[in-house]
């Protein structure tokens, strides 16, 4: 029972990270991306993908992505794919809003560059 609760807590944390990191992003047409999935919907997609134990951003792991980098994270508009494939596709299409770019710039100020 305790192990199940711990696993559920870890999954809920991953869900919350995905929701948080979606804020401020835009799709390849420059439209804001929203995360419209409940935890149960998010978990359903992962469970049915068969890759829930391989979730992550490292080589050989899988992530939730938007087909053609368009629209919102919602049932019917997400897919589970290799993180490396998603990263390759994103390099040519991912954009940030001006507000996000400004925040990223401020976050970098004062940090040492090598």
pLDDT band at residue 43 under the 50/70/90 scheme: very high
Q: What is the rounded average pLDDT of the residues 79-100?
A: 78
Q: Residue 109, Cβ neighbours under 10 Å: how many?
A: 6
CA distances from 4 to 38, 48, 64 (A): 20, 19, 23
Higher pLDDT, 113 or 47: 47
Angle formed at CA 65 by CA 29 and CA 8, multiple of 5 degrees: 140
The pLDDT, as a whole number, for residue 111 is 58
The candidate with the shortest Cα–Cα distance to 81, out of 49, 111, 41, is 49
pLDDT band at residue 94 under the 50/70/90 scheme: low
Mean pLDDT of the chain: 87
What is the value of pTM for the model shown?
0.75
The pLDDT, as a whole number, for residue 22 is 93
- Tokens representing 103 are 């925040």
pLDDT band at residue 114 under the 50/70/90 scheme: very low
32 alpha carbon, distance to own chain's centre:
14
The pLDDT, as a whole number, for residue 1 is 81
Q: Helix 39-49 to helix 2-22 angle, to the nearest 10 degrees?
A: 110
């Amino acid at each position: 029972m305790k192990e199940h609760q711990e696993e559920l807590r870890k999954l809920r944390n991953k869900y919350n990270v995905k929701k948080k990191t979606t804020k401020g992003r835009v799709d390849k047409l420059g439209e804001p991306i929203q995360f419209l999935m409940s935890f149960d919907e998010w978990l359903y997609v992962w469970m049915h993908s068969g890759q829930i134990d391989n979730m992550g951003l490292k080589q050989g792991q899988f992530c939730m992505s938007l087909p053609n980098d368009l629209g919102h994270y919602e049932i019917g508009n997400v897919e589970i794919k290799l993180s490396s494939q998603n990263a390759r596709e994103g390099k040519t299409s991912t954009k940030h809003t001006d507000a996000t770019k400004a925040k990223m710039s401020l976050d970098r100020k004062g940090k040492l560059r090598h």
